[in-house]
Amino acid sequence: MNVQEVRVLAKEMGVTPGKMKKMELIRSIQAKEGNFPCFQTAASDCDQVECRWRKDCLMTH
């Protein structure tokens, strides 16, 4: 997802994007979903196989 798509999703979920960067937005969405806000914190692998952000997250490592 690009940052604009993430901003739209954030707004739909009740997260006010303000000037947050994509990483901050995704972590805020993860927290709002009741998940651990861990986007781009995994050193090499992630056990959260159902996470909607998994592909984008692991792509950056």
pLDDT, tens digit (0-9, with 9 covering 90-100), for 3-61: 999 999 999 999 999 999 999 999 999 999 988 899 998 877 788 888 888 888 887 65
Note the pLDDT of residue 42.
80
From 46, 50, 24, 49, select the one nearest 37 (Cα to Cα): 24
Please report, for the chain, the start and end positions of each structural domain, with discontinuous segments joined by +: 3-59
* Residue 21 · residue 13 · CB < 8 Å: no
Note the pLDDT of residue 21.
95
Note the pLDDT of residue 37.
92
Note the pLDDT of residue 5.
95
The runs of H, that is alpha helices, within 1-61 are 3-12, 22-32, 54-59
